């Protein structure tokens, strides 16, 4: 999702490319606040919340123009990624409660809801970008950039390298999403 937005909406191309809201909990970095116009990736709210996390969630409330895009994925697939990311071993039942809490929190931001399969189907990039354009109130670039198909591994690695070297100046931004699930044409 992040790469789709960064590659198709120049308004979000900045340094840093995006803020990983969750990583603040996994590091010793101080949370210094967010700037308007930044792209934020998060799985909040999630298990293990504490006062710092709650303060961070409250900080989002100050952004009255916050545009939220929520990705829907099969709960089983989402649980697998979640457990890997946060080094947990939650059951499906436990995770369903976390997912419900997540959905309830973000519902107040009137999010655009996107199915995970829409992100990996390069044949429907125009439909996906139209939804995002409408939600953000911004126009995508004329030449739409879809995720690189998995059969193009050399290009994927080249774009990853260029992104790490040039950041938002890279011809195609690849922030590290796994492309093994991108459907070829």
Q: What is the separation of C-alpha 124 from the centre of its chain, rounded to a whole number of angstroms?
A: 18
Tokens 């191309």, located at residue = 13
Q: What angle do CA 22, 23, 25 make, to 5 degrees?
A: 80
Among 21-35, 56-70, 166-180, the range scoring the smallest mean pLDDT is 21-35
3-state helix/strand/coil string of the chain: CHHHHHHHCHHHCCCCCCEEHHHHCCCCCCCCCCCCCCCEECCCCCCCCCHHHHHHHHHHCCCCCCCCEEEECCHHHHHHHHHHHHCCCCCHHHHHHHHHHHHHHHHCCCCEEEEHHHHHEHHHHHHHHHHHHHHHCCCCCCCCCCCCCCCCHHHHHHHHHHHHHHHHHCCCCCCCCCCCCCECC
- pLDDT tens, residue by residue, 23-62: 655 554 555 555 666 677 777 666 555 666 667 677 677 7
The least confident of 42-51, 75-84, 103-112, 119-128 is 42-51
pLDDT of residue 184: 47
| pLDDT band, very low/low/confident/very high, at 165 (cuts 50, 70, 90) | very high
- The pair of structure tokens assigned to 137 is 């109130």
What does pTM read for this prediction? 0.76
């Amino acid at each position: 999702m992040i790469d789709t937005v960064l590659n198709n909406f120049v308004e979000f191309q900045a340094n840093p490319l995006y803020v990983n809201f969750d990583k603040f909990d996994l590091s010793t970095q101080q949370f210094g606040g967010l700037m308007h116009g930044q792209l934020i990736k998060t799985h909040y709210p999630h298990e293990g919340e504490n006062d710092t996390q709650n303060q961070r969630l409250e900080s989002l409330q100050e952004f009255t123009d916050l545009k939220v895009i929520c990705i829907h994925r099969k709960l089983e697939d989402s649980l697998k990624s979640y457990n890997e990311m946060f080094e947990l071993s939650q059951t499906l039942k436990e995770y369903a409660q976390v997912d419900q809490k997540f959905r309830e929190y973000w519902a107040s931001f009137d999010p655009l809801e996107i199915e995970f399969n829409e992100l990996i189907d390069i044949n429907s990039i125009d439909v996906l970008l139209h939804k995002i354009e409408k939600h953000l109130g911004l126009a995508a670039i004329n030449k739409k950039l879809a995720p690189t198909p998995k059969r193009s591994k050399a290009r994927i690695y080249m774009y990853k390298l260029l992104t790490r070297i040039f950041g938002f100046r890279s011809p195609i931004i690849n922030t590290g999403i796994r492309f093994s699930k991108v459907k070829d044409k």
